[in-house]
Chains A and B, each alone.
Chain A
Amino acid sequence: AQKITQTQPGMFVQEKEAVTLDCTYDTSDQSYGLFWYKQPSSGEMIFLIYQGSYDEQNATEGRYSLNFQKARKSANLVISASQLGDSAMYFCAMREDTGRRALTFGSGTRLQVQP
């Protein structure tokens, strides 16, 4: 069974600094996808970035990058140059490529960006 672990319930970062949000996963499948979503206080879930298990390069989307270490089964989200608007809950999620498309989510990390 797949499992996602986010060990940081809360994180603080100074504006303009970089921050890493941890995510480890457990799966017996060789083919899978990893996702990060952001949930601001308004409640909507915003897709940030995707990493496929066979992707050789780490995914990047603007200020977001995914530090993918397959052997360690970790998929940490790196946010560079933090902005006040980055304050939100961040969820790591995984889907195995078995045909079942349900996402498995971690418990989330609440990031607060301080001015």
Chain B
Amino acid sequence: EAGVTQFPSHSVIEKGQTVTLRCDPISGHDNLYWYRRVMGKEIKFLLHFVKESKQDESGMPNNRFLAERTGGTYSTLKVQPAELEDSGVYFCASSPGRLGAATDTQYFGPGTRLTVL
């Protein structure tokens, strides 16, 4: 079974440009999450999809970030316009969602390293 995949693995852009990150969850997983780790700080939650619906977007830092999950499959996270402080590693995770919340393990992708110059 394929794991969570993310594209690209690295992205280097200039301040003010737009970047779109993509996440393909494990097949059949209804839940999809975005997290990010900025400059050695803790990994922070951004948002959570259940199928195509945003269940929780309380971690989104501002309106420069837009996440979508069309058709409940893959998800994109767009940063527009990118700022220097957006640099970091963006992780995507997915979980089945069929068990009780506590045992619904999240499986992570390899992350996208974003550098904003």
Does the CB pair A102–B43 fall under 8 Å? no
A74 to B101 CA separation, bound complex (whole angstroms): 21
B74 CB-CB contact with A under 8 Å: no
List the A residue with the shortest CB-CB distance to B113: A43
A97 to B99 CA separation, bound complex (whole angstroms): 12
Chain B residues positioned under 8 Å from A91 (CB to CB): 43
How many residues belonging to B are interface residues under a CB distance threshold of 8 Å?
30
Does the CB pair B102–A102 fall under 8 Å? no
Chain B residues positioned under 8 Å from A37 (CB to CB): 108
Does the CB pair A102–B45 fall under 8 Å? yes
Given contacts A43-B89, A105-B42, A105-B43, contact A32 B102 (CB under 8 A): yes
List the B residue with the shortest CB-CB distance to A6: B42
How many residues belonging to A are interface residues under a CB distance threshold of 8 Å?
28
Does the CB pair A43–B59 fall under 8 Å? no
Does the CB pair A44–B56 fall under 8 Å? no
Does the CB pair A97–B91 fall under 8 Å? no
Interface residues of B (CB under 8 A from A): 31, 33, 35, 41-45, 48, 55-56, 58-59, 89, 91, 93, 95, 100-111, 113
Interface residues of A (CB under 8 A from B): 31-33, 35, 37, 42-47, 50, 52-53, 91, 93, 95, 97, 99-108
Report, nearest first, the 5 A-B pairs whose CB atoms are least far apart: A45-B108, A102-B45, A33-B102, A105-B43, A44-B110
